[in-house]
Chain A
Amino acid sequence: MSVAECSSIRLSISSSVDGSSTDCSSVSEGIHTNEPPRVSHTSTTLQKLGVEELKELMLDLSNKVNQKNTQLVKCLRNRERHRNRAAKHFDMVTAIIQAWSTKSSADAKMKFTIEPPAGDANFAQWKDAITSLVRRPVGLPSHFRSSIWLSLATRYIKDLRIDWNKVLQFAFNDKCNPDDDALGAQIVKDLHRTGCSTFSGIENEEDRVILQRVLLGYARWNKVTGYCQGFNVLAAFILNVTNKNEADALKIMVYLVDHMLPKEYFAHNLRALTVDMAVFRTYLAMKLPKLSAHLTKLQQESCDDCNGGNVDLPLLMSSQCSGSSLCLLLVYQWLLC
């Protein structure tokens, strides 16, 4: 039984108790729908009852309270048992992560949980553990992504010391801002071209509206970067993880684009991307020398061949470019899991 259910029981008990002396309309909010309908007691109805009837009522109510208490205790025990079991599993994951690690002193302090613990030092250790897990080939299990990304993003926003609620109000404002028209036109052109089927079909109009709000929200938040083609893919992917929650998606998007990626990665003339391509090319030569040499050879032939002149382009350039997309994909994957 979940924590929510426990608290619901508690609410029900307190209502029952309160209800014995005062108005008791909320008693009917009990959790078990198969229970007999509850009678509402008010001071007027109670005043009409005799002593014996009142005693009986008291007994009945106190029995009910006891019953609920027993249920509550059972719930709490269950919760404790689940927590202990989860803690054991977390310890196991921590042990595995540490076994993979370089065994430095920082590694020894890593501690895995789903929710980050309170405190700066604890958060850092938690983040180390998550980072280490993400770097494993399997990455982070997809059902934990939403919660972990959000924890990371929330922490980043908290460190910015800004009024996030105000940001949200501004970002998701329905009124038009001066820059919205040009931005909006570009965003609308790409909404159905996200490469993500949940946003592409005719029947997904509502989802596209959410996607548009997140993209426009980000562009309003970061005016220098605004909207860059490809953000639609990112935002669609994030929205799928946050279960279409636009505020959470925006937060994660801010964390990804502003913090995880190099500064102004998508801004201006995508200079940072050009750097990434060069890095990719170097890596390719280091890690896959055969492929790299093959591409260079094709490039050379293409230059020699092509109808004259020193054409400084295609294939290697193309490898650079697909490299950039690849890099982007890797970067997506890197943060997003």
Chain B
Amino acid sequence: MESSSNEHIDYVFKVVLIGDCGVGKSSLLLRYSDDFFQESYLCTIGVDLRIRTISVDDKRVKLQMWDTAGQERFKTLCGHYYRGAEAIIIVFDVTSENSFSNVLRWYEEARQLSRQDTVLVLLGNKSDMADSRAVSTERAQSLAASLNIAYFESSAKLCDNVKETFTATTRKMMEAYQKHHRAHLPDDLTNSKSLHMSQPIKSSTSLNCFDCSIM
């Protein structure tokens, strides 16, 4: 599954994860990119990046996944990233009513700042915590349906449905891309430039500056 250098890449997609503080955005990415879970050690300050290359329907896809800070005042800063994204995953915590009621605000901002062809997805995380669940699957599904976006439910902790969510989102991005660029296909995808992308960045690398912090 993982990429080696010089390999052929068909698509490079940028995915941005947004949502309230503490819903598990970083944990989802950590699970997906490194298959690892830990209680968060440091809240995301600003923006973090993780990368993973996957195969979907015989295509090699490199996902650049941007992790954003959840606090309100970082929104302007993180909003810059929406425009470049092929997909925006709005994450909420199924045990937190509050994080669910904020989904609409996140959605509106994402719509406003992203491109027309950007895929939006709703993701309810912490599905393992059945006892303290506050938002039912049905409610979340009906909200997603009313916004005309897909809904997924996952548990970063138990590694439940994380990979599936990203794969399905990737498939949607590929569809959106093909729809948008039908005129230019297929040459665009295999031009030489796309090969450059795979070289400098190793798979699943965190560029979070705090990893090498002096503290």
Binding site for B on A (CB under 8 A): 186, 189-190, 192-196, 200, 228-230, 232-233, 237, 266-271, 273-274, 298, 301-302, 304-309, 311-314, 317-318, 321-322, 324-326, 328-329, 332-333
Binding site for A on B (CB under 8 A): 11-14, 21-22, 39-47, 49, 64, 66, 69-71, 73-77, 80-81, 83-84, 86, 115, 177, 180-181, 184, 188, 193-194, 196-197, 200, 207-210, 213-215
The total of interchain contacts (Cβ-Cβ below 8 angstroms) comes to 125
Closest chain B CB from A330 CB (angstroms): 9
Query: For A271, A301, A321, A332, which residue has the most chain B Cβ atoms within 10 angstroms?
Result: A321
Is B184's CB under 8 angstroms from A195's CB? no
Is A229's CB under 8 angstroms from B13's CB? no
Is A308's CB under 8 angstroms from B180's CB? yes
CA distance A329 to B42 in the complex (A): 14
Residue in B41, B77, B184, B213 whose beta carbon sits within 8 Å of that of A270 in the complex: B77
Residue in B66, B71, B180 whose beta carbon sits within 8 Å of that of A186 in the complex: B71
Contacts of B184 in A (CB 8 A): 308
Contacts of B209 in A (CB 8 A): 322, 325-326, 329
A-B contact pairs, 8 of them (CB 8 A): A266-B73, A269-B73, A269-B75, A270-B77, A301-B193, A307-B188, A325-B208, A329-B213
CA distance A78 to B39 in the complex (A): 52
Contacts of B80 in A (CB 8 A): 313, 317
Contacts of B77 in A (CB 8 A): 269-270, 273-274, 321
CA distance A189 to B99 in the complex (A): 13
Is A200's CB under 8 angstroms from B43's CB? no
Residue in B47, B86, B200 whose beta carbon sits within 8 Å of that of A307 in the complex: B86
Known: A237-B215, A325-B209, A332-B215. A308 touches B84 (CB 8 A): no
Is B194's CB under 8 angstroms from A322's CB? no
Closest chain A CB from B153 CB (angstroms): 21
Is B213's CB under 8 angstroms from A192's CB? no
Closest chain B CB from A20 CB (angstroms): 58
| The 6 nearest A-B residue pairs measured at CB | A313-B84, A195-B42, A325-B209, A269-B76, A322-B209, A193-B43
Is A233's CB under 8 angstroms from B45's CB? yes
Closest chain A CB from B126 CB (angstroms): 13
CA distance A92 to B191 in the complex (A): 66
Contacts of B39 in A (CB 8 A): 192
Is A317's CB under 8 angstroms from B81's CB? yes
Residue in A268, A305, A317, A325 whose beta carbon sits within 8 Å of that of B73 in the complex: A268
